[in-house]
Amino acid sequence: MTHGIVSAPQPEAVEAGIDALERGGNAVDAVIATALVQTVVDPQMCGIAGFGSMQVYMPERDIHVCLDFHGRAPSKATPDMWHDQIIREAGDGFGFILDGHVNDIGYGAITTPMSLRAYNAALGRFGTMALADLIEPAIGYAEDGFMVRPHVSYFWNLVEGEGRAPHKDRIAKLPEARRIYLNPDGSLRKPGEILKNPDMGETLRRIAKHGVDEFYAGDIADTIIADMAANDGLLTRNDLENVAVSETDPLWGTYRGYRIAANNPPGGGIMVLEMLNILENFDLAGLGHNSPDYIATVSEAMKIATVDKDTRVGDPRFVDVPVDLLTSKTYAAELSARIKSGWKTNVPRINPGGRESRNTTHISAADEHGTCVSMTHSLGMPSGVVTPGLGFMYNGCMAVFDPRPGKTGSIAPGKSRFTAMAPIIVFNGDEPFLVVGAPGGTFITMGVLQCILNVIDFRMDAHHAVSAPRFCTTSDIIDISNRILRRTEQALKGMGYPVRRSPLSYHFAGVHALRHTSSGWDGGADPGRDGMALTV
């Protein structure tokens, strides 16, 4: 009998999740074990000082909730503190390029560290194993070292252009990160080299021994706050001590008879539901997978949802998000009629430029008891900051706030910014059918959308659904991966669309999914992210 399945971008992390299942743990235990290893072996994609969103479905206990742990602007942040330093808005609308990268790299980029509190909360509410036990594999990879994988090396070497800092700056600009991640001669480690981080191992050991309060209110917290104070950081002791996880009911929608459970704003689930509602009014299968008409139609839905996100979706504690409107079938029918009329939506941008950094990771897991978990967690754009002696890197989520006061995404103390994270569970009747999510910045919602369409409209299994060529339209430009046909590109240009081809064959999010059928679960791990799906 299959006890469970885990899919994630890092083989080492998937093995840790499977080991937890083999030791009698449930899917929640597996996800947390996986996440903790991810923080070590993919240290710029996620970390204990990051943020995220998790959906948990446990039919045996009649539980179905979303745990939201979005980073919040520190209490010292102000709405106008960067308003005069704007260079441009990111081309996909997710963040701003500021003079000196003050919102992107360094101590000013850090929002409240949420992830560790969330891992512990999930285990306390839904798990069966102790954090101290599940953290052991992560400690081993920190102290004994992990092998640098191709995608880790790719990230370190990536230069996105259009004003964004080269990714090497995130591990080389500040001395403590440089000491950990660069070779003594200042060069970047190559794939296959071993990276050890004993300081992180010691921090994880202290957490295992004393609990997560050591991080938020104990000696580790003292070290964090002293470092912030010495470097003009925004984060305060009160910010750390007040970190709490939000538990909400899922946001529900439907698509062609399937029930879709998504996370709430400021997460990206609302965008996925809006796009599905629009596309339900089209015969997508009849258009043909990745045909010019298909890509144009789906791209228009992407653009509409992007504009609505930019202008209407934010932290509901600060912004009146029109959830009922954006998830309405009537509203979607009106929008689909606009698409059918030939209308092309314009996505406004301030000096449109680069693309969002895709510094996030995901886990999908299920167990023999029917428990399903989808969790996306991240550092956003890693800040490059490592407190001496602690070994972990902090998030850089302040980069995504709008530095213009009075906007939906403007800075405010305690406010979370929009994130495209969209951990989704699709139900066929009352039974889970598809567990899906992705890393990838603003590409997340677009990658998750296409996986759902691939499974429901084109009857693909999980592997083929996450491996099929993708495209992404978060501006007026349709971005296509290199496996989209050249003749399709020319046809789109003939329809009046600007098209930009990526050199990458697997791009626009790193989707990881599980599909349930009468014969059991099948899994897919995005081939562009080095990961795997594994059953036990």
Q: Which residues are part of the catalytic machinery? A: 360
What are the helix (H) ranges across 264-342? 269-279, 284-287, 292-312, 323-326, 329-340
Q: Which segments of 81-149 does DSSP mark as H helices, in order?
A: 115-126, 131-134, 136-144
Q: How far is CA 371 from the centre of its chain?
A: 21
Sheet holding 424-428, edge to edge: 251-255, 258-262, 424-428, 431-437, 512-517, 520-525
Asked if 262 and 253 touch (Cβ cutoff 8 Å), the reply is yes
Looking up tokens 């599980």 gives 514
Nearest to 48 by CA among 216, 299, 291, 276: 216
Task: Please state, in angstroms and rounded to a whole number, the distance separating the CA atoms of residues 187 and 440.
Answer: 26
What DSSP string runs through 396-408?
-GGGGSBSSTTST
For residues 279 and 26, what is the distance between their CA atoms, to the nearest angstrom?
A: 36
Task: Report CA Rg, the chain.
Answer: 21
The whole-angstrom separation of Cα 68 and Cα 246 is: 5
**What is the rounded CA–CA span in Å between residue 306 and residue 275?**
10
Burial level of 321, CB count in 10 A (0-12/13-18/19+)? buried
Alpha-carbon distance of 210 to 272, in angstroms, equals 40
